[in-house]
Amino acid sequence: MALMTQEWKREHLLDTSQLTLNELKAILARARYWEENWRPGMGPYRGRFAANLFFEPSTRTRFSFEVAEKKLGMEVVNFTPDVSSTAKGESLYDTVKTLASLGVEVAVIRHSDPEQVKALARQEVGCKILNAGAGHWAHPTQALLDLYTMLKHFGDLSGKTVAIVGDIAHSRVVHSNMWSLKRFGAHVILSGPQAMRDRDCEQEAPYVPFEEALQTADVVMMLRVQLERHQEKLFTSKQDYHKQYGLTLQRLRLMKPEAIIMHPGPFNRGVEVADEVVEHPRSKIFEQKANGVWIRMAVLEHALEGEKA
């Protein structure tokens, strides 16, 4: 199956909100192609370079991108901020421009400041920019792999209800997910502590009590409590949060029989998700991680080939 790039007109991928329905479908279709057809030794992009620039900690996204790049045959440059010239004050623009001058064609960037990533994409840096998570603004490839996981399970999301539960205010995942889910006809509801609500998200989706969300949803997506982003203490203890908003086996029984459990990770066992729920038969948490490789292969491929469209 040849890559069809006529629907892809993007130089960079910053968020799902910039993608049309046809572009979303093109990425999902290509991810399915790679999942079904990739074999060792297939890499079509040998000799082409990608750089992974992670200014925030990451396991899933960083290594998922690296595996995707290597499955495509690419050479991978992993950038470490604290031993690079950024530690001496070099700007993000100059860093990426330098890498592009060395032959890097795709820069995968995670950064705490979304405005820096947006500004970079507006400049002539000489390579494609893929947002691997920017502050609490956007995380497009996570939203795409979540969408892919749901579509693999249900086939169609029209009329399905997706409940996103937890630390909405500090999540980049929820913003990107809401855009893509609505384009596929899903209804999004939110739930979580009052102190972790997000005003912008409230304008896009209703907040409902936790138990109502569990009873209503076809997909229950739990979010990590992002303690590192909290300016002040928002709950008394992890045990207290788990008691009020943790997905336990008892609460799982409130869910529809066919409903599934998701979590973008990293997850805190015994906080937002009980230990025995993480690998429950209805949990798609580790499947999400596997699907991330295929999605990121598709995104990288579109970035490399889109200029030819």
- DSSP for 39-59 reads -TT--TTTT-EEEEEESS--S
Q: Is residue 197 part of a domain?
A: yes
Which pLDDT value is given to residue 309? 35
Judge if 34 and 149 occupy the same domain.
Answer: no
Percentage helix, strand, coil for the chain under 3-state DSSP, each rounded to 5: 50, 15, 35
- Out of 42-56, 227-241, 284-298, least confident range: 227-241
Judge if 179 and 232 occupy the same domain.
Answer: yes
Mean pLDDT (whole number) for 125-142 = 96
Q: Is residue 226 part of a domain?
A: yes
d(CA 200, CA 207): 12
Q: For residues 215 and 231, which has the higher predicted lDDT (pLDDT)? A: 215
Judge if 182 and 95 occupy the same domain.
Answer: no
Judge if 162 and 253 occupy the same domain.
Answer: yes
The structural domain count of the chain equals 2
Judge if 150 and 27 occupy the same domain.
Answer: no
Judge if 268 and 304 occupy the same domain.
Answer: no
Judge if 250 and 154 occupy the same domain.
Answer: yes
Feature table: binding site for carbamoyl phosphate: 60-61, 110, 139, 142, 265-266
Judge if 267 and 301 occupy the same domain.
Answer: no
Judge if 254 and 133 occupy the same domain.
Answer: no
Q: Which domain holds residue 203?
A: 140-289
pLDDT in tens, 46-75: 999 999 999 998 999 999 999 999 999 999
Q: Residue 70 is part of a domain; what is its CATH number?
A: 3.40.50.1370
Q: Is residue 4 part of a domain?
A: no
Feature table: binding site for L-aspartate: 88, 172, 224
Judge if 263 and 195 occupy the same domain.
Answer: yes
Judge if 75 and 210 occupy the same domain.
Answer: no
Tell me the pLDDT of the chain averaged across its residues.
92
Q: How confident is the model at residue 11 (pLDDT cuts 50, 70, 90)?
A: confident
Give the pTM: 0.93
For 42-46, the CB contacts below 8 A with 24+ separation are: 42/71, 42/73, 43/70, 43/71, 43/72, 43/73, 43/74, 44/72, 44/73, 45/72, 45/73, 45/74, 45/300, 45/301, 45/304, 46/73, 46/74
Judge if 170 and 281 occupy the same domain.
Answer: yes
Feature table: binding site: 60-61, 88, 110, 139, 142, 172, 224, 265-266
Residue 295 has pLDDT above 60, yes or no: yes
